[in-house]
Structure 1
Amino acid sequence: MRPQGVLRSLRLLQQVHTHSYLQAIPGPVLRRGFQTASNTKPNIPDFAFAFDIDGVLLRSSKPIPGAAEALGLLQEQGIPFILLTNGGGKHETERVAEISEKLNIPLDPSVIIQSHSPFAELVRGSEAQGPLEDKCVLVVGGDGDGCRFVAERYGFKNVVTPGDIFMAYPSIWPFSKNFMEYYKKFARPLPKPIDTVNPEKSLKFDAVLVFNDPRDWGLDMQVIIDVLLSSEGIMGTTSSKNGRDDLPNRGYQQDGQPPIYFSNPDLWWAAAYHLPRLGQGGFREALEGTWAATTGGPSKGVELVKTVVGKPHQSTYEFAERQLLRNRSRIFHSQELGPLRRVYMVGDNPASDICGANSYRSKHGSEWQSILVRSGVYTGGQPAWTPTTIVDNVRKAVEWALKSSQWPTIKEN
């Protein structure tokens, strides 16, 4: 991972994220979701919440009992919160609108942070990566070409998906022929062909962005490995440096190949099935296993050079806290604000939600406490990362946190 580049990406993205969302929302509308209708000076909380979505608020798009009531209680009491998810695949405005409809509760776009939100800054570039606005990027994952549209809304102008490549060259992964009708619905012509005679005229990638959980693992993995084994990201080529013992990483990814970014590390996620399902982290593990089998792997001194963002990484939690502080300041803009002393992270995944909150070191002086719920990935036993407390669901989590913070208006059941 490249922490400095990603950290800068998160900082700059927050400016764009906040400007584009908050500036378009009138003050009364923004405050509606957080403040009571009282004309008296509000009791300004010195704490806030961060909620995971899948397995905490929703499960397979269906509301988890008590989720709407929990968020409604916070809105009624004027307590800020954000939705911090390793999910994605849709633009933030679209995603928050869907969640609002499903929970039947008004939510501002400013409260949601998705796993691929940091990718937006790569349009303008970072310390580790030059601007990608006009470069050709391979976008992987998600339903149809939904992630392509997200990338284009972020500002990427030249986006290609593995489905585009497959429809132009079906032989690149013949086992996807059964999905031909699926890809026909959204595939676009390639900006350049795969030209093995004149590589300088061939399709070339400058970055690989895994936006969301891949659907066609075989095709996606094959295309990514082709890119990583290529010379300078040129499709149809193979680098002459691959396998050279006199070069770092045995020559792999040492010949101008594009960087690869993963938007989240989650091995498991909570779906409609009663047991957790493999997520993007499962795809990455499969890719790394195939990469190791191809290159010799760690036993030969070879790694897959990559950047992973999302929970539980420090940079994602830093971004989340800054977003909370910015939202809090705007909500109570006419009041004297004290410090944000505590943030309650409510999640169902010990390896991401709880690990991230427990490991996070705030630069603003806040203490993050983790609350693990039993409504998603975690169903019992000793979790790998020990939370501050374990409760049945998100409503119990909010009630516990309000009581812990000695919030005066909480009612005992």
Structure 2
Amino acid sequence: MTKPEVLAPVGDMERLKAAIRFGADAVYLGSTEYGMRAASANFGMDDLKAAVQYAHERGVRVYLTCNTLPNNREMERLEEFLQNAAGCGVDAFIVSDIGVLTTAKKAAPQVEIHISTQAGIVNAVTATEFYKMGAKRVVLARELSLEDIRYIRDHTPPELEIEVFVHGAMCMSFSGRCLLSNYMAHRDANRGECAQPCRWGYYLVEEKRLDQPMPIMENEQGTYILNAKDLCMLEYIDKVIEAGATSLKIEGRAKSSYYVSVVTNAYRIGVDSYLESPQNWKLEPWLMDEVRKVSHRDYSTGFYFGRPQEGQRYDTGGYIRNCDIVAIVDCWKDGVAYCTQKNKFFAGDKVELLEPGKRPVEIAITELYNEEGEAIEDTRHAHMKFSFPFKTPVAEGTIIRKDV
């Protein structure tokens, strides 16, 4: 069996290092133009070159998002942009527009073409035609079932790679091609500027009673009628792989390095455990606990098992958050863990240590010391350096977190 790729999202260098540390085979990111996350930090060309070098030194591939729908003025700059990006060493361009695809083939023929989910590929004929046009990979629409994916795999050239989303936020519109943000906030979702009005609460007004808004009751609990639950297929990795997916994609380029670390770690361990024993694989329950320890909406399995029966959450548009990162381990030496603070916590608090590739371990940190070696009661200063005694060696980048 070909080893399926765990593909992680990154928005800056911190998140790139986190994704690689916690087991990503490849990462996808955006530059300053043509990507679907205009609000993310993203990478200028100098940063992109450094990111690619860092990833390649560690055997990790880098895919650049170029999946907006550019207008005429933006197309004029595209060829130079793609040439510069290719010079940084990216492994693939993720595109959705046919004009961008043909320009990429001309500007940088050595760089792979991956067709974005924005292209809305839902059948084998379309996937095959993109392959004939030069695509190495297609990212299928999120609205497909496992049976649909299996059919596409069985009826497309075996050399064509198939990528699917397995985790993260879902769009209420087909494959993210939405105009609601344009109408509501004058921000074009197809240029990476979505204001996410699907997450807002709404009221209904009658034309002669504009001052008497009424809640829209999708059911007795609420009004967030467009608010999709997050996708999570961690428990069904076996079914996704067996359907023919080449790459398992995690959504979240705008999310934190903590999110990237925890979710990538969970899917890395889940995929590896499946490959070790595919015949009788079952996910270890603690891994599902892991993906509940990041900020998330209620989870669902999206369209994988057919039309979602409970794919929306109507009572709130917010996130569930029950765990906070409080520090990152910089290094361990002679029985002492040296750390950088991320959030305040106190000596005596029970925390969890999450090392890359491992199950979390609960400990109580009873002693804290500042950078000068003086005893302290808490880590109150942002990004302060501190240490605590710990007999067991612990890896660089280990996450320290606590319940909230």
TM-score normalized by structure 2?
0.29
TM-score by length of 1: 0.29
Q: Per residue, is there more helix in 1 or in 2?
A: 1
Greater per-residue strand proportion: 2
